Structure 1
Amino acid sequence: MTSEADQQDTDQGEQLPAPGSPGSVTSALRQQPDHGEESYVGHGRLTDQVALITGGDSGIGRAVALAFAREGADVAIAYLAEEDEDAQETARLVREAGRRVLLVPGDLTQEDNCQALVDATVAELGGIDVLVNNAAYQMAQTGGIADITTEQLDRVMRTNLYALFWMCLKALPHLRPGSSIINTSSVQASSPAPALLDYATTKAGIVNFTRGLATSLAEQGIRVNAVAPGPIWTPLIPATMPAEQVAEFGEQTPMGRAGQPAEVATAFVYLASSDASYVTGEVVAVTGGLPVPA
């Protein structure tokens, strides 16, 4: 895992093309994120389970897929077709861990693609034990609300909220007592940055959705929780923020640095495992010390 001293030397003043564009891939980053490739050691906490991870090709999604595989789970990964290079690398890591992997490209802002993703996972891997709703879109606008177009608002809402709702709806018939849904929220849910107003709004919605669905599904023995990351170094950051913000990314935390995807993945493992058997409706903050009010 990247040390704090190494992180301070990171050249993060770089930029990538917008998400889904050619060149917006992990390999294009000068400072490579740490997904746990060299550090994560599994302990059989998810043996023979099946996990479906949206946005599983890179960043936090890749780190979660790797950790789940090393914990013994087979993994289905949903991603945009334009990001196949990243998805193939994640699949390689899962296979190296000795687990099955299913790659399902598709745009989850379309309801039919959510259904197709669930159907493919059940058909190929035999069911769904853990659903991780991690796919997200953001685009910083330094002018705030005046610069957020209706087109951008629609994409952010459909990616971050509509797709999450549809994935839960479509997966629910296949979930059993002991199954788990984990949604990716953000520190932005409680401390919204003006440049990320639309994104922050969806992340707050995810918190409320998580708590409401947790209450609804508790009697069925299905747990629903969320992870709220703070500033985490992934390809999404240099692809969606001005270079000057990227250069200072993470410095506002009490720890003084951005986090790495590997440092978030352990929260997902905990919530997916039986270690969290009495935990539902919760938001686990992984923020480097930035507060996330309950």
Structure 2
Amino acid sequence: MTMNDARSSQDPTTAHPRPDFPDQNQEHPGWTGPMDPPPDHGEDSYRGSGLLEGAKTVLTGGDSGIGRAVALAFAREGADVLFTHLPEEADEARETVRLVEDAGRTAIAFPCDIREEERCREVVGRAVNEFGRIDVLVNNAAYQMSQPDGIGAITTEQFDRVVRTNLYAMFWLCKLAAPHIPSGGSIINTTSVQAYKPSPHLLDYAMTKGAIVTFTQGLAQMLVEKGIRVNAVAPGPVWTPLIPATLPDTAEFGKQAPMGRPAQPAEMAPAYVFLASRHASFITAEVMNATGGTPLP
């Protein structure tokens, strides 16, 4: 189903590809091109209606997957987008830039590794220099690596990378960006179904996603008096390059969801648009679950 068909009735369990998928594995960080089926970011379907007209936005991990879908949707809703990506993801980032610019908005691709505080400081500084303010900060970048052999196989190096990418960077970016977010602005963090139903082979990743829920709820109470809303989106399984790059078996990915399939990135983007928009003006400290039917607290 495309966004153009949204008013018509269609079974959501069959609206997008279902497993079994071809077996496919990639080196981290993974690439969109080789994926089969190809991810849908909303290129041919998302239609904007001015919900974010003139908004200045910062997005981490915007080169592919959910990040690319959010960048595309924000741009088609009228927002300018500065997004981060790893230096090795430059080719992926160029496609996101193209999509944003084709929507008539400004796109700034910022190559960096947000595990370092100084890089986060540079991201915020560049956004303020270019835009003058930050209306919406989307903390989306994350790292995971499956370890089916359990906690004993999680090295300190892996643990450090997961925590610094998923938590430290979010903390730093929120701390640095908050003084530049005007009243009416918002922060949106990406947590996960893993926060509530952790998979043993993703123990360290799931731990950080649980922490993001707590961080979101606490920061929301801290910033509400300044008129800044803080919310999160909790995706279930989503078909992105992170999957073939970090999981050993992709054939049945998403089959565990009640809908029997993974989400496409395009199905996540509307949640971020809603939370960033004026339609969510009375919503803060909330987690929007987009899990394909997995019940969460």
Q: What TM-score bracket applies, with the shorter chain setting the length?
A: over 0.9
Provide the residue aligned with 2:177 in structure 1: 171
Q: CA deviation at 1:16?
A: 1.0
- Divergent runs of 4+, >6 A: none
**Displacement of 1:40:** 0.4
Tell me whether 1:123 sits opposite 2:129 in the alignment: yes
Q: Number of paired residues?
A: 287
1:69·1:97 contact (CA, 8 Å) conserved in 2? yes
Q: Which residue of 2 aligns with 1:149?
A: 155
Question: Conserved in 1, the CA contact under 8 Å of 2:19 and 2:251?
Answer: no
Which of 62, 67, 74 is the aligned partner of 1:61?
A: 67
CA distance in 1: counterparts of 2:19 and 2:190, whole angstroms = 28
2:213 matched residue in structure 1? 207
Rate the CA distance shift 1:9–1:292 in 2: closer, same or farther, 3 A: closer
Of 219, 225, 233, the match for 1:219: 225
Gaps of 5+ in 1: none
1:69-88: per-residue Cα shift (whole Å, max 9, x none)? Answer: 00000000111010011110
Asked if structure 2 preserves the Cα contact closer than 8 Å seen for 1:25 and 1:85, the reply is no
Q: In structure 1, which of residues 4, 21, 28 is the aligned counterpart of residue 34 of structure 2?
A: 28
TM-score by length of 1: 0.95
Aligned to 2:251: 247
Q: Distance in 2 between matches of 1:166 and 1:5?
A: 38
Q: Which amino acid aligns with 2:138?
A: V
Matched, 1:16 2:26: yes
Residues 154-212 of structure 1 deviation map (CA, whole Å, 9 limit, x = unaligned)? 00000000000000011011011100000000000000000000000000000000000
2:289 to 265, 279, 285: 285
Rounded Cα–Cα distance in structure 2 between residues aligned with 1:10 and 1:95: 35
User: What secondary structure does 1:249 align onto?
Assistant: coil
- 1:270 is aligned, of 270, 274, 279, to 274
- Consecutive unaligned residues of structure 2, counting only runs of 5 or more, are 3-11
Query: Is 1:234 aligned to residue 240 of structure 2?
Result: yes
2:109 corresponds to which residue? 103
String of CA shifts for 1:117-173, please: whole Å, max 9, x gaps: 011111112321000000100000001111101100000000000000000011011
- Counterpart contact for 1:51–1:75, Cα < 8 Å: yes
Distance 2:116 2:278 in 1: 33
Q: Distance in 1 between matches of 2:211 and 2:149?
A: 23
**SS at 2:197's partner residue?**
coil
Q: Partners of 2:68 and 2:23 in 1: how far apart?
A: 23
Deviates more, 1:42-51 or 1:24-33: 24-33
Alignment of 1:258 onto 2:262: yes
Q: 1:12 to 1:186 in 2, by over 3 A?
A: farther
CA shift in 2, pair 1:74/1:139, >3 Å? same
Q: For structure 1, which segment, 267-276 or 3-12, has the greater mean C-alpha deviation from structure 2 after superposition? A: 3-12
**Which string of whole-angstrom CA distances, capped at 9 and with x for unpartnered residues, describes residues 192-242 of structure 1?**
000000000000000000000000001000000000000000000010001
What's the TM-score once normalised by structure 2's chain length? 0.94
Report the counterpart of residue 97 of structure 2 in structure 1: 91
Q: CA deviation at 1:49?
A: 0.5
